[in-house]
Structure 1
Amino acid sequence: MLHESGDEHAWFAPKRFGYGAGLPIRWQGWAVLAAYVGVMTGSTGLLPVGTLPAIGAGVLMVVATVLLVVIAKRRTRGGWKWRSGGD
């Protein structure tokens, strides 16, 4: 399942300052990030073609971003919480 946040199931490191996830710490995290970058760059090719493809590209970008945030939140070591630089 994607709800464990222990070290053995973590794909992302927590941010040192602020709220959220930092860089990936396992290959699965890097794969998710690479897929997100691929979707974002691939969907930009649809933008100048016309209105309908532009709407589709925008929807695809929003869906990909929501999926990235959900996966990162569920797979960040220690979960998402406010951090102010301490351990």
Structure 2
Amino acid sequence: MQGEQKYWFPAKRYGWGWGFPTTWQGLLVLGAYIALLAGGGAWLKADHSHGWFVLYAAALTAVLLLVCWLKGEPARWRWGNGN
């Protein structure tokens, strides 16, 4: 088991991308993303700044995708079992 890499985000069975996290680190990243998105929504809602919220959400999503890319299974198109 030494040297075996444990991915935080497994690849989806069908399509391209990652599924639900399988480690505590992945769950922590996803939880932080959701909390920051909700907190930012409540904070920016007071100013009625829809444009700023869209930029804020896009930046958070870009960071989440970067973490998935670095700590998840290699991304490729999948068609199910073994492909």
TM-score by length of 1: 0.78
User: 1:39: Cα distance to partner?
Assistant: 0.8
Note if 1:59 corresponds to 2:64. Answer: no
Distance 2:4 2:21 in 1: 12
The reply to whether residue 49 of structure 1 matches residue 50 of structure 2 is no
Higher strand share: 1
The unaligned stretches of length 5 or more in structure 1 are 1-5
Q: Percent identity?
A: 29
Task: Specify whether residues 57 and 7 from structure 1 end up closer, same or farther in structure 2 by C-alpha distance, changes over 3 A only.
Answer: farther
Q: Aligned to 2:76, which of 77, 81, 85? A: 81
Cα distance in structure 1, aligned partners of 2:61 and 2:7: 19
Structure 1 residues 42-51 or 27-36, which shifts more?
42-51
Q: TM-score, normalised by structure 2?
A: 0.81
CA RMSD in angstroms, aligned pairs only: 2.0
Q: Give the Cα separation in 1 of the matches to 2:57 and 2:28.
A: 17
